[in-house]
């Protein structure tokens, strides 16, 4: 069952809507480096995924259909018929699900540092069990260690600590419930159904979803374009914000042709 997730809106009324969907263990604040750039041209909607931030925390486990359904419910509340959608990590998985299962709602799609199948399943089951037993603080350091390159972590320790605190404050049930969604996810067969023009972005040094995951997504979606961002790990949107912002602006501002039959 879908829920009402917490969201914020920035940008000119009446402008095309861009929805930003974040990673496991994040709040909508993870998109802070994108808001000012995108809001000059678009109505930017950020939201906390279920079980995260200020959104409700339903009892898990969750499914990708739950996460996608939450977005559709949000769009209905906002009166947004068709949107441009960007998602990173589990947010990108949500975007792939939406573009395949509700294509009439997705005008253009960008997926960042994500995968259509992210195994092994036992890893996600074990992480969910750890979080339920010990809290999200038990996995925060390891998670953020994958999100930034060592060089960035050395240059920007305050950013890394801020993001680590974000992960550690995530409700255990919400984090574990989303782990279960990733554990059971397999979107490979859905890729061919995606007709929205799609941009796939990978971090060249991402240990969580290495570029080969992006390559497989790109190969599975007709006409999709791949861009690999250098000197970036999993949170490429923060570590290389200027480059990612430029890619998103170019992609979302382009004219959309009619979907193929």
Alpha-carbon distance of 217 to 255, in angstroms, equals 22
Smallest CA-to-CA distance from 175 within 225, 127, 226 is with 127
pLDDT the model gives residue 256: 63
Find residue 51's DSSP bridge partners.
none
Residue 35 · residue 44 · CB < 8 Å = yes
Helix, strand, coil shares of the chain, percent, nearest 5, are: 50, 15, 35
pLDDT at 257: 54
Helix (H) or strand (E) holding 107: strand 106-112
Q: In 10 A of CB 134, how many CB atoms?
A: 11
Domains of the chain: 7-253 (3.40.50.1820)
Q: What is the mean pLDDT of each run of 10 residues along the chain (261 residues)?
A: 97 97 98 98 98 97 98 98 98 98 98 97 97 98 96 97 98 98 98 98 98 98 98 98 98 70 35
Q: What is the pLDDT of residue 255?
A: 75
- How much is the pTM? 0.96
pLDDT for 259 equals 44
Place of tokens 């990673």: 23
Exposure letters 199-224 (e unless 16+ CB within 10 A, then b): bbbbbebbebbbbebbebbbebbeeb
User: Residue 261's pLDDT is what?
Assistant: 35
């Amino acid at each position: 069952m879908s829920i009402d997730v917490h969201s914020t809106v920035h940008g000119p009324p009446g402008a095309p809507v861009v929805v930003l969907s974040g990673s496991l263990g994040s709040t909508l604040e993870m998109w802070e480096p994108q808001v000012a750039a995108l809001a000059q041209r678009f109505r930017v909607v950020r939201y906390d995924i279920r079980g995260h931030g200020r959104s409700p925390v339903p009892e898990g486990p969750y499914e990708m259909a739950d996460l996608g359904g939450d977005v559709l419910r949000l769009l209905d509340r906002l009166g947004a018929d068709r949107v441009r959608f960007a998602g990173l990590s589990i947010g990108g998985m949500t975007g792939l699900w939406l573009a395949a299962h509700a294509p009439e709602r997705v005008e253009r799609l960008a997926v960042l540092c994500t995968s259509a199948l992210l195994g092994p399943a036992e890893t996600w089951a074990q992480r969910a069990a750890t979080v339920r037993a010990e809290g999200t603080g038990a996995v925060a350091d390891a998670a953020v260690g994958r999100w930034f390159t060592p060089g960035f972590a050395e240059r920007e320790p305050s950013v890394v600590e801020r993001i680590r605190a974000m992960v550690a404050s995530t409700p255990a049930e919400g984090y574990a419930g989303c782990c279960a969604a990733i554990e059971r996810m397999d979107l490979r067969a859905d890729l061919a159904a995606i007709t929205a023009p799609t941009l796939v972005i990978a971090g060249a040094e991402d240990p969580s979803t290495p570029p080969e995951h992006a390559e497989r997504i790109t190969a599975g979606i007709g006409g999709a374009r791949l861009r690999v961002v250098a000197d970036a790990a999993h949170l490429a949107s923060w570590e290389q914000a200027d480059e990612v912002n430029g890619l998103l602006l170019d992609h979302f501002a382009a004219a959309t042709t009619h979907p193929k039959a």
